[in-house]
Amino acid sequence: MALDQLWFAGKKRNWPLAQYYFNESRGHIQWLVRKNPMIRNNVEQKDVDLQGIFDGIDTSSLAMVKDAIEKKDGPTFDKNYS
């Protein structure tokens, strides 16, 4: 839900609101990973390390969205959010 609101705030170039929803979304993901850091892939019957996946996304895709919000760069936000 917060991700949808982040997208709308970014599209409207409401940067304080976009920053708020970015922080909320990131916080929700962190909470979920802390709650259950491993999940079972039912197809392959192997455990999947969610912390590792989140760490990779947090330092790449999420970092680029955060940077666009901080710079108030609409076109870059649109590109990186996608």
Amino acid 1: pLDDT: 65
Q: Dihedral (C-alpha) 46, 50, 51, 57: value to the nearest 10 degrees?
A: 130
Average pLDDT, consecutive stretches of 10 residues, N- to C-terminus, the chain (82 residues): 90 98 95 90 87 94 97 97 92
Reference 70, options 26, 15, 3; nearest CA is 15
Q: Could you tell me which residues are beta bridge partners of residue 39?
A: 48
Helix (H) or strand (E) holding 60: none
CA 74 to chain centre: 17
Going by the DSSP 8-state scheme, the letter that residue 46 receives in this structure is E
